[in-house]
Amino acid sequence: MNTQTFINQVAASDAVGAKDLLNDLLSTKAFEALDAKKIEMAQSLYTGKQEKLETQDTDNTEENTTEE
């Protein structure tokens, strides 16, 4: 499974095969990134270093309130 195979499938109008291969490629990338992050977090846990985690504020109470 590689990018060249995906391109060949798209060029050959094999939409179903290309879609399946793209899903597999993206899943593989996501799992590799997740494993790398797990290792990074485990190392920081055991070395005692804490890094500031970036979080997205999804509940901003000031913007969600309504004026009466």
CA–CA dist 62, 57 (Å, integer): 12
**pLDDT tens per residue across span 45-58:** 877 655 555 655 55
**pLDDT tens per residue across span 12-48:** 999 999 999 999 999 999 999 999 999 999 888 877 6
pTM of the shown model: 0.54
59 domain-assigned: no
22 domain-assigned: yes
68 domain-assigned: no
Domain of 34 in residue numbering reads as 3-48
CA–CA dist 44, 47 (Å, integer): 5
19 domain-assigned: yes
Q: Domains in the chain: how many in total?
A: 1
53 domain-assigned: no
27 domain-assigned: yes
Tell me 58's DSSP state: -
